[in-house]
Amino acid sequence: MSAPPRSWTGPGAQERLAILRRTRSVAVVGASANASRASYFVTTYLLSSSDYRVYLVNPRASEILGQPVYPSLDALPEKPDLVDVFRRHDDLPEVLEETLDVGAATLWLQLGSWHEDVARRGEEQGLSVVMDRCVKIEHARFDGGLHLAGFDTGVITSRRDSGVRPR
């Protein structure tokens, strides 16, 4: 069974850049202490390579990477500007409601996460919505820091014979 066609169109590169530039605080919903999880990698990047105030949300954890973890968005010490979501598809409507309730400006669904109803409802309520994009990758791309994110390895090149050989 194939996925239904996508009809929602998200913000283009310039608007994503504007979102990231006006963001001062990020809540990572679904933060994990498991180093193999994408949320852990993104959190590590945001804490080390951005000026954002980063808040971690997971009702089953108390500390990750030396940072306090909050059980919900409404338990955060401030309203987050951007809610970065690492949750299952079926949980996204609930996360949308929590995001709206706390008054965040942006709902950002990570790579592979797509929920058109959530996007439409969020936009109708005044949220900026980004889906199927990684905050870390976008921040690094716009900030000129893809090498910090592990993408500028020096192995891949557009030149036919660069002289660089895999080890």
Does residue 77 sit within a domain? yes
Does residue 66 sit within a domain? yes
Q: What is the pTM of this model?
A: 0.84
Does residue 162 sit within a domain? no
Does residue 167 sit within a domain? no
Instruction: With beta carbons less than 8 A apart as the criterion, state whether 47 and 65 touch.
Output: yes
Residue 88, pLDDT above cutoff 80: yes
CA 167 to CA 161: how far, in whole Å?
16
Does residue 149 sit within a domain? no
Domain span holding position 50: 13-143
Q: How many domains are there within the chain?
A: 1
**pLDDT > 70 in the chain, percent:** 83
Does residue 4 sit within a domain? no
**CATH number reported for the structural domain that contains residue 54 in this entry:** 3.40.50.720
Half-sphere exposure of 56 (CA within 13 A, CB side): 23
Instruction: With beta carbons less than 8 A apart as the criterion, state whether 127 and 105 touch.
Output: yes
Instruction: With beta carbons less than 8 A apart as the criterion, state whether 44 and 101 touch.
Output: no
CA 38 to CA 59: how far, in whole Å?
18
Does residue 86 sit within a domain? yes
Does residue 76 sit within a domain? yes
Contacts of 116 (CB under 8 A, 6+ apart): 6, 7, 8
Could you read off the pLDDT of 105-133 as tens digits, one per residue?
A: 999 999 999 999 999 999 999 999 999 99
